[in-house]
Structure 1
Amino acid sequence: MPHPETPTSRPAAPDPGPSSAQAGFDLVLLGSGLGVYTLARAFHEEYGVVATVITKVGIEPMRRSVTCVVDELGSSASDEDLVTAAVDLAIERGGVRPQLLLANADSLVQLMSDHRDQLEPHYVMPILEADVLERLSDKAEFARLCTEHGVATPRTEVIDLSIPRKAGWEPPRTDLPFPVVMKAARTADMAGVRFAGKKKVWFLEDPEELAALLRSIAAAGYTGRLIVQELIPGDDTAEGSITAYTDAAGRVTLLCSARVLLGEHTPDALGRPAAMITTPFDDALEQARALLEATGYRGYANFDVKRDPRDGTWKFFEVNPRIGRNNFYVSSAGANVSRFVVADAIEHRRIEPVTQFDEILYSLVPMPLLRRYLRDPPLKRWVATVARRGVRNPWTYPADGGWARRYARIVGLNHVRKFLRHYPRPTDSGF
């Protein structure tokens, strides 16, 4: 499929097909990538719906997949062009069926919220209210809310670069013991900032390294807040993921957790799980539920957590206002993620909360590579036992045929190359 560089010539509205009519709704997704592909896959598996994906530039698996039709606007398209395209599509379809609009990136959920007045007359949008999104998308505010509601979180300090800096400005220092971890308080605020050494998360060994990085970030024009947090000991296998859905009545109808076995280590993807095993985090799940219900949450949520070996508690780092890139681990564990939003936003039906799941191994990487990074013998045996029942790879949708399996193998081999370059051997800290 060609990649038009400008959105000046719009194709006719994609026909979602008879399966969408049978399901009683159409699905429109903003964005691209693995998290959108697996979301489209979930709806296709459960309802036979073919999603329309509106994006600037798509990825080849989505262009070839039976799960979706990709409407590419071109790399020069603006975020506002995405909104315009979504509105135009809904108008062309004429309101015959409900139009469900979802995204799986923080910046695109924010875009939907910012343009709610334009989109809501045409779309069902089960997302947070603007004030809740503002509070929870900010990691500094999230840490404060966790403390307020008794949810465990790492010690956190805030560095505010929105304050005007005078001549001779010196970066502030932290009282936290080194090493520390630093990240943007709001991921969306860092999206358009470019500078050497940019990462999703920084691991900093000493005050001088922190000061140098702050100078680079400030010089690049970043005017948001940054958070500095204590380093919770432990490698990737101490980390966890919690996926949730909260309905319009404020009820948490989905809570699923998985232990991370291996995270990605390229600068732009640091922290993304590459392999996980589903297992219940009983105490952390209840904390997640309490926080979602107390803050008036709505829609999908994905929490990043880590077990602190010093006291055995799960520490909450952030909540993403979306289902998350690795949402397929939930669907493959027995609870197709599309059911919860459809019951809530399309059918307006009350369902019983789901918290029990199959034990499955989710992995984007080849098993030999995964075993290389598992250093704990009991954990290796557990993973091997679950793997014998089958490894769940999100790219291998049977309905997409042989090319999907070949693509999954290519992705796996690319991961081998990336790990050997960026994280050649496991470390105690995961950095």
Structure 2
Amino acid sequence: MPDTPPHPFAATANPEVDLVLLGGDIGIYALARAFHEKYGTISTVVTRKVAGPVADSSILSTVELGMGASEEEMIQALLAVGADKASHPSSVRPVLLANADFLVALMAAHREELGRYYHLPLLDDEVLHAVADKATFSEMCTEIDVPTPRTVVLDFSSGTAPEIPELDLGWPLVAKASRSSAYNAVSFPGKRKVFEIEDRHQLADLVQRLTAAGYRDRFVVQEMIPGDDTAMLSVTAYVDTRGAVTLLGGAQVLLEEHTPGALGNPAAMFTTDLPEVFEQSVRFLQHSGYRGYANFDVKIDPRDGVAKFFEVNPRIGRNNYYMTAAGANVAEAVVADFLEEREPERLVPREEILYSIVPWPLLRRYIIDPDLRDRVQEIRRHRTVHPLAYGVEGMKRRLYVAAAKVNQVKKFLQHYPRPSADGF
């Protein structure tokens, strides 16, 4: 079923709302789309490369820096955009958002300079450092009885390979960087976002490769929670400057991406009510002193039925459009907070919708539970959305979305040709 926005046309432009985005992926376009649907905003996107998700769009303008642009050059570009906007008599202070951990960390490191021109929905430095670290996140969850997988931390900060302790996590286990912003800075053969480790020998090999690559942060090793992609949940929230959770919703994941660099990113999911998980999410946000957008990754453990919290991303998340499509436009929370200076009634999704960036025949192939497949089929008939398929865009965009779906088929056939019991 084609994507059908809740309103056939975007809102009339609101001159009081402006948005600047750093990055250029699907999540960035989804944010621009949310602001355009609600406020008619034409966003400014600052990115190293104007790639497919943000190319040829009528709802945003782009500033391309080149693939070799340094972090300092990105900051200088943002300052130039901000100064230019401020020079116009009728200008308003824009909201500045990013949707990658390392870009959020970069903005936080320059918050004083950027704050001259932008509203910055960012966490305090201390909170950002704590919650963006998967090891610290697990410790914080334990403090407030929010369940997490059993975790062992390997510390590479000394520059030498850490000793691997005796592990009582079972095999296989999962290994991943404690902070993706630190992991983003290294490169080595076989690099993946998440590793499935079959035995101690494989873990020792990974430790050696990380050390040789110059990795100088922590790596977490966790018990493998059984279950395929359909056991995963996504929770999206916004905490305003007063500490109130003004946006909260979630979805059950149906299929995740399986390319090495994108492993774990949801490719399809449907909105659903998750009362206990929502309560635990709010508890964590309030305990940590969180501010701004948050995106939790959670998995239901089939051994005990308990939802285990894996991490919180200090940003809205790549697949945030499922919230907007279901009736909780993600732009409203930050606009109410910074531009209208009010605490709105909490925004929650009102519709059950299917969010998918893959064709239905491909998705159906990976939903092996017949009852779940029937349920998703029914939701699909009601409403299916693709974040890039926005009716106000032109033919080039429609062709790009069609090509992107075909490319997804190729990627799954290459990297995940058939469903597995653990999603690897």
So what's the TM-score if we normalise by structure 2? 0.94
- Asked whether the 8 Å contact 1:204–1:210 carries over to 2, the reply is yes
- Asked whether the 8 Å contact 1:55–1:70 carries over to 2, the reply is yes
1:356: Cα distance to partner? 4.4
Amino acid at match of 1:146: C
- Asked whether the 8 Å contact 2:17–2:335 carries over to 1, the reply is no
> Hey, what's the Cα distance between the residues in 2 that align with 1:85 and 1:312?
48
> Hey, what's the Cα distance between the residues in 2 that align with 1:93 and 1:105?
24
Q: Does 1:98 align with 2:93?
A: yes
What residue is the counterpart of 1:74 in the other structure?
66
> Hey, what's the Cα distance between the residues in 1 that align with 2:255 and 2:326?
18
> Hey, what's the Cα distance between the residues in 2 that align with 1:340 and 1:203?
37
Q: Does 1:364 align with 2:351?
A: no
1:367: Cα distance to partner? 0.6
What residue is the counterpart of 1:54 in the other structure?
46
Stretch deviating more after TM superposition (397-406 or 170-179): 170-179
Structure-to-structure mapping, 1:251-290, within 5 angstroms: 251-290=244-283
> Hey, what's the Cα distance between the residues in 2 that align with 1:26 and 1:170?
50
Q: 1:301-323: CA deviations, max 9, x gaps? A: 00000001111111000000100
1:370: Cα distance to partner? 0.6
Q: 2:32 is matched with which residue: 30, 40, 50?
A: 40
- Asked whether the 8 Å contact 2:160–2:211 carries over to 1, the reply is no
Amino acid at match of 1:352: E
- Asked whether the 8 Å contact 1:254–1:354 carries over to 2, the reply is yes
Amino acid at match of 1:199: R
> Hey, what's the Cα distance between the residues in 2 that align with 1:256 and 1:408?
26
SS of the residue corresponding to residue 336 of structure 2 reads: helix
Amino acid at match of 2:107: M
Amino acid at match of 2:95: L
Alignment: residue pair count: 411
> Hey, what's the Cα distance between the residues in 2 that align with 1:220 and 1:39?
34
> Hey, what's the Cα distance between the residues in 2 that align with 1:410 and 1:242?
29
1:357: Cα distance to partner? 2.4
What residue is the counterpart of 2:336 in the other structure?
343
- Asked whether the 8 Å contact 1:101–1:124 carries over to 2, the reply is yes
Distance change in 2, residues 1:82/1:335 (3 Å): same
Root-mean-square deviation (Å): 1.5
> Hey, what's the Cα distance between the residues in 2 that align with 1:118 and 1:234?
46
Q: 1:113 is matched with which residue: 108, 111, 130?
A: 108
1:390: Cα distance to partner? 2.9
- Structure 1: runs of 5+ lacking an equivalent: 1-18
> Hey, what's the Cα distance between the residues in 1 that align with 2:293 and 2:159?
36
> Hey, what's the Cα distance between the residues in 1 that align with 2:164 and 2:352?
47
Runs of 4+ aligned structure 1 residues displaced above 6 Å come to none
- Asked whether the 8 Å contact 1:54–1:86 carries over to 2, the reply is yes
- Asked whether the 8 Å contact 1:278–1:360 carries over to 2, the reply is yes
- Structure 2: runs of 5+ lacking an equivalent: 1-11
Q: 1:180-201: CA deviations, max 9, x gaps? A: 0000000010112111110000
SS of the residue corresponding to residue 52 of structure 1 reads: strand
Q: 2:370 is matched with which residue: 377, 382, 397?
A: 377
SS of the residue corresponding to residue 392 of structure 2 reads: helix
> Hey, what's the Cα distance between the residues in 2 that align with 1:60 and 1:381?
33
What residue is the counterpart of 2:183 in the other structure?
190
What residue is the counterpart of 1:138 in the other structure?
133
> Hey, what's the Cα distance between the residues in 2 that align with 1:244 and 1:219?
38
Higher normalized contact order (CA 8 Å, seq sep 6+, divided by chain length) = 2
Q: 1:313-350: CA deviations, max 9, x gaps? A: 11000000100000010011111110110001111011
